[in-house]
Structure formats: structure tokens, C-alpha cells
């Protein structure tokens, strides 16, 4: 069996380009079906077409020449196909006797390939050879290893869809809405009256509705096919600023933006990250591994190759204060949304009490909002581990933590003092598993908020903040040093910051000294 291009990972990753031929083919499918197609439908057809095109190319080659096998005899003028050389074709331009005492009598054929290059190959060769086949006239199935289109889509589908969607978005005659694509020239239009009626229906319902719930009240022409009615509505609402599509992939749900919670439309102030320039080349492999372990939503991390069934997160102060979860690369992958969806509404089910929380995934702000009451109910501290898991419904997820009977433990407590913060060890009752290095507490939240706002107004640099916090935290450690994770957790009390800039500041500034194992301290001279 010989390898296919379509089985090479590079074919579907680095080398993949959506061509004009691909687009024209997908257009023809839309014309033939006269129905909208989802991104998953387009993926199915694109992958099948690429596999089929590769086979057709090779089949054409086989029809033009004879498959080269070392055991066979050839004459000048014959055309040979070489499957082991990516089905290159060449003509026999010479035949001579071979000379090798170990192989007995055989011939050597001179082949001139289509690019003018000449090479010699053995023919009439006795004995076994890896290039010999059982059949004198092998079929394509005899030559190629089998390909599994479903496996290709499972492994590379998400990336292919992204490329495909970006390419189709460039086409002027393509309409997109709610995960489906169609040709604008075939699309029925809805009137202003239809759109106003849809708004009224949503307003009266007070909750997101599927297009199937809205279409029946719009009195659209009966001759329109059902899927076209739904797509026409989705397309019209998508291009009207009053509406928001808030369903996860596979579920289209329309809502009115003016009815969405404020923290869905506006990023909570504690979560706002003002990008910090830093030299990433300063980070060692160990530092990068630590950055990946922390998995901050603003760290430049690669998405997991496969969609996880569950994700465990560690709460930091900004999210605990805002009642949110970080939408990092792992959780973002677990919350798949349609092409344009900026916000999706989900239900988070408490595995302990069975209570349900109305959550919103806000991609632009990189957070999931709606969990303030959940955190308060279970008294989760900063540093607590929170697990989110998928269910059999795409808009429902379970949320849990590792609980135990509350016990009094020593933790770091942030204490506001003279427009800055001090850190003390104090005893607190905790009933949830947490990261020892990141756990933090705070009693006077309003004063901590004031310090955070002042830090932001004064545009204090990460180096300044680290230089203030390092000795404060080091006082609590007998070794007078601080772990990066502890420092990261504390810095985020006064400024939203991923670990990358903190790690780079530690490496770059002469006041900071590493003592091993991701622990740092101020140099004695400082």
C-alpha cells in the first residue's frame, strides 16, 4: 500500500488552502440543493471532494501508462507510472542488460520523466521486491492505503472549518447566518414588518427563542421551503443590531440585546486586561510550561487538538470578585459557538445542589458570567479548583468543585493599607480544595477595589507592582522567597495580568533573583 497526500497531516494543516475550485464546487452544491448548508455540511463535501480529486488524478495516470514493477519487461516508447514517486510518469527511452552477480540476469530501463530528468530502473528482475504487485494491471485500490474521511474530519475538522468560513466570508454572493451558508441571489427577503414582529415575539417571551418558534407567526409565503424560511429569518435578524444569536453550535437561539444582562454587553471592570508588551524570548521552557499550567485566558496557548469533556480551572481574584470563569483555550474549545457568535447563553447545573445558573459565554471578553451566587453559596476561595463538564445537551454543562467538611486553615489575606495592600497569614474556614500557591482571601472588598482602580488610573507597571508585592509575600515564607503562581495570584488583585508579563519582568529586572523551582526574591542589594 502507498501513502496518500490526504493522509499526510501537513495536507490538512500547514499546506491547506481553500481554492477557487473548492468555492465553485460548494456553490454548485448550494445551487443543486437550493437549501442552506451548515459549516459541517460544507466540511463533509470539501473533504470528500479532496479525497475524490486525489483518486481521480491518480486514476487518470494509471489509464495513461503501465504501473512500474521491477519484475516486468518493458520496451522503448512505453509510458510507465511510478506510484512510489507520487505517480510521476515517464517514457522508456532505452533498455540495456544489467550487471549484478547477486541478482542474475535482468535488464535496466532508462526513463525520461516529464520534467526532462532521466533515471534508470531495474526490469525483468527475479525474486521478491517491495515494488512488485500480485496483479499485472493493479487497480487504484491495490496501490493506495484506505482513507477514513470521518477520522480526517474528527482530527482536522475544526481547523478546516475556520479556513473555509474565512474564505466564504470573502465572497460577495454568500449569505451566512446561524451556522449556515447560502447564495444571496437565491435568498428570499423579509420585510421591516416581519422583523418588527419578530422583535415583539421575543419581547413578550422574555427569553431566547429558536427560529422555528418565530417563523410560524410571521406569515411568510407558503411556497417557500421550510429551511429557506428559517434561513431568511436568521439572515435578517443577524443583520439587525437589535438581535443577538446566543445559541451554542447546533442550537440557534435569538434574543434581544437590550434584554441581556449588563455584564454580558459590557466587560466587568475587574476583567479588563490592558495588553502589556513583554519579551517572550526571555521565558525559558520551564517558564512556558508553568504558563501553560496556569492557563490564563490571555496567555498565548495552543488549543487542544480534541474537544475536552471537562475542564478544571483555578479561580483568581478578578473572576471570584466578578462571579465569572476564565474562558481560556480549553474551556473555549468546550463551548463551541457558531461562526459569528460573540455571546452564547448556557445553563450551568450545580452537581451538589442541583441548582441551575443562567450563564453567558462572552468570547470577546474571554469570560463566562453568571456564577456569583454559585461562588457565594459554596464559599469558594480565590485559588479554588472549579470543574466544568459537558452533558448530553449542547447548552447545558455541569459545574462542580472538590468539597469537604469545612475546616479552619491558614491562608494569605490581602489587607488594604495606605493606598496599597499588605498580605498577612490568617485563619479562615474553607470547605473546598484549592491550590496552596494561589489561595488568597480579602475582607474589605471595597477598599481593595479602590486600590485596584487607583493602580489602573496611575498606570503602574508590572515591575512596580511586583517589586511592591514580592517582599510582602516573602515575609510569610521562612525561605523569604515567593513562587510565581503566588505572585501571579497577588498581582491580579490590583491589576489584571496574565503570567507572561510577570515572568518576563522577573527575568529582565536586576532587582529580582531566582532561587530555583519557580521561586523568586528581591536581591539583597535591593
- Residue 138: is its pLDDT beyond 70? no
420 domain-assigned = no
Judgement on whether residues 46 and 106 belong to the same structural domain of the protein: no
Q: State the average pLDDT over residues 19-41.
A: 92
Judgement on whether residues 239 and 112 belong to the same structural domain of the protein: no
pLDDT confidence of residue 418: 80
Judgement on whether residues 208 and 84 belong to the same structural domain of the protein: no
Judgement on whether residues 57 and 152 belong to the same structural domain of the protein: yes
Q: State the average pLDDT over residues 161-173.
A: 93
Query: Which CATH number do you get for residue 226?
Result: 1.10.10.10
Spatial neighbors of 144 by CB under 8 A, at least 6 apart, are 1, 2, 4, 55, 58
125 domain-assigned = yes
242 domain-assigned = yes
- Residue 339: is its pLDDT beyond 60? no
Judgement on whether residues 49 and 156 belong to the same structural domain of the protein: yes
Letter string b/e over residues 165-191, b meaning 16 or more CB atoms within 10 A of that residue's CB: bebbeeeeebbbbbbbbbeeeebeebe
- Residue 473: is its pLDDT beyond 90? yes
Judgement on whether residues 53 and 184 belong to the same structural domain of the protein: no
pLDDT tens column, 487-526: 999 999 999 999 999 999 999 999 999 999 999 999 887 6
Mean pLDDT computed over every residue of the chain:
91
Q: State the average pLDDT over residues 227-232.
A: 90
221 domain-assigned = yes
442 domain-assigned = no
Helix, strand, coil abundance in the chain, percent, nearest 5? 40, 25, 35
474 domain-assigned = no
Judgement on whether residues 202 and 252 belong to the same structural domain of the protein: yes
**Alpha-carbon torsion 283, 288, 291, 295, what sign?**
positive
Q: Is the pTM of this model over 0.75?
A: no
142 domain-assigned = no
Q: CB–CB of 247/395 below 8 Å?
A: yes
Judgement on whether residues 103 and 49 belong to the same structural domain of the protein: no
Judgement on whether residues 99 and 214 belong to the same structural domain of the protein: no
- Residue 86: is its pLDDT beyond 80? no
Q: For residue 51, what are the domain limits?
A: 5-61+147-171
pLDDT confidence of residue 23: 95
Q: How many domains does the chain have?
A: 3
Judgement on whether residues 98 and 207 belong to the same structural domain of the protein: no
Judgement on whether residues 11 and 53 belong to the same structural domain of the protein: yes
Spatial neighbors of 499 by CB under 8 A, at least 6 apart, are 290, 291, 294, 296, 299, 484, 488
483 domain-assigned = no
- Residue 338: is its pLDDT beyond 70? no
Query: Which CATH number do you get for residue 115?
Result: 2.30.30
**Long-range contacts from 277-285, C-beta under 8 angstroms, 24+ separation:** 278/462, 278/500, 278/501, 278/504, 278/505, 279/504, 279/508, 280/500, 280/504, 282/503, 282/504, 282/507, 282/508, 283/500, 283/503, 283/504, 283/507
Letter string b/e over residues 494-509, b meaning 16 or more CB atoms within 10 A of that residue's CB: bbbbbbbbbbbbbbee
Judgement on whether residues 187 and 75 belong to the same structural domain of the protein: no
Residue carrying C-alpha cell 443577524: 238
- Residue 337: is its pLDDT beyond 70? no
Nearest-CA neighbor of 275 among 438, 457, 459? 459
Among 224, 259, 294, identify where a domain stops.
259
pLDDT tens column, 179-189: 889 999 888 88
Strands (E), 178-331: 180-183, 243-245, 254-256, 310-314, 324-326
pLDDT band at 133 (very low <50, low <70, confident <90, very high): confident
Amino acid at each position: 500500500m502507498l501513502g496518500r497526500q490526504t493522509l499526510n497531516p501537513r495536507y490538512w494543516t500547514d499546506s491547506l488552502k481553500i481554492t477557487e475550485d473548492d468555492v465553485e464546487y460548494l456553490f454548485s452544491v448550494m445551487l443543486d440543493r437550493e437549501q442552506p448548508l451548515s459549516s459541517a455540511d460544507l466540511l463533509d463535501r470539501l473533504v470528500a471532494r479532496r479525497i475524490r480529486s486525489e483518486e481521480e488524478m491518480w486514476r487518470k495516470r494509471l489509464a495513461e501508462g503501465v504501473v512500474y514493477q521491477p519484475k516486468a519487461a518493458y520496451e522503448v516508447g512505453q509510458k510507465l507510472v511510478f506510484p512510489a514517486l507520487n505517480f510521476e510518469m515517464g517514457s522508456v527511452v532505452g533498455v540495456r542488460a544489467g550487471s549484478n552477480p547477486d541478482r542474475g540476469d535482468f535488464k535496466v530501463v532508462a526513463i525520461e520523466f516529464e520534467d526532462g530528468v532521466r533515471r534508470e530502473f531495474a526490469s525483468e528482475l527475479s525474486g521478491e521486491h517491495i515494488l512488485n504487485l500480485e496483479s499485472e494491471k493493479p487497480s487504484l485500490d491495490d496501490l493506495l492505503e484506505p482513507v477514513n474521511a470521518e477520522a480526517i474530519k474528527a482530527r482536522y475538522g475544526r481547523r478546516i472549518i475556520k479556513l473555509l468560513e474565512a474564505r466564504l466570508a470573502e465572497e460577495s454572493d454568500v449569505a451566512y447566518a446561524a451556522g449556515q451558508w447560502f447564495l444571496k441571489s437565491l435568498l428570499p427577503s423579509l420585510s421591516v414588518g416581519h422583523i418588527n414582529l419578530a422583535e415583539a415575539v421575543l419581547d413578550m417571551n422574555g427569553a431566547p427563542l429558536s427560529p422555528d418558534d418565530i417563523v410560524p407567526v410571521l406569515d411568510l409565503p407558503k411556497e417557500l421551503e421550510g429551511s429557506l424560511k428559517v434561513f431568511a429569518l436568521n439572515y435578517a435578524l443577524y443583520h439587525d443590531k437589535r438581535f443577538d444569536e446566543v445559541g451554542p453550535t447546533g442550537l440557534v437561539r435569538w434574543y434581544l440585546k437590550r434584554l441581556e444582562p449588563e455584564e454580558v454587553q459590557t466587560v466587568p471592570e475587574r476583567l479588563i486586561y490592558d495588553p502589556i508588551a513583554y519579551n517572550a524570548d526571555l521565558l525559558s521552557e520551564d517558564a512556558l510550561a508553568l504558563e501553560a499550567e496556569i492557563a490564563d485566558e490571555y496567555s498565548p496557548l495552543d488549543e487542544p487538538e480534541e474537544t475536552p469533556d471537562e475542564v478544571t480551572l483555578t479561580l483568581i481574584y478578578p473572576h471570584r470578585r466578578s462571579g465569572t470563569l476564565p474562558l481560556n483555550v480549553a474551556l473555549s474549545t468546550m463551548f463551541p459557538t457558531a461562526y459569528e457568535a460573540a455571546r452564547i447563553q448556557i445553563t450551568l447545573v450545580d452537581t451538589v445542589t442541583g441548582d441551575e445558573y443562567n450563564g453567558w459565554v462572552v468570547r470577546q471578553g474571554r469570560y463566562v458570567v453568571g456564577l456569583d451566587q454559585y461562588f457565594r453559596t459554596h464559599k469558594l476561595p480565590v485559588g479554588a479548583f472549579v470543574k466544568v463538564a459537558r452533558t448530553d445537551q449542547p447548552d447545558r454543562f455541569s459545574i462542580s468543585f472538590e468539597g469537604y467538611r469545612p475546616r479552619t486553615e491558614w491562608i494569605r489575606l490581602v489587607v488594604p493599607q495606605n493606598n496599597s495592600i499588605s498580605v498577612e497569614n490568617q485563619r479562615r474556614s474553607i470547605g473546598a480544595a484549592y491550590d496552596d500557591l494561589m489561595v488568597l482571601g480579602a475582607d474589605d472588598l471595597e477598599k481593595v477595589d479602590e486600590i485596584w482602580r487607583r493602580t489602573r488610573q496611575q498606570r503602574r507597571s508590572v515591575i512596580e507592582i511586583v517589586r511592591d508585592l514580592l517582599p510582602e509575600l516573602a515575609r510569610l515564607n521562612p525561605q523569604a522567597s515567593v513562587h510565581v503562581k503566588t505572585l501571579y495570584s497577588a498581582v491580579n488583585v490590583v491589576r489584571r495580568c496574565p503570567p507572561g508579563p510577570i515572568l518576563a519582568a522577573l527575568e529582565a529586572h536586576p532587582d529580582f533573583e531566582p532561587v530555583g523551582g519557580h521561586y523568586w526574591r528581591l536581591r539583597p542589594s535591593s
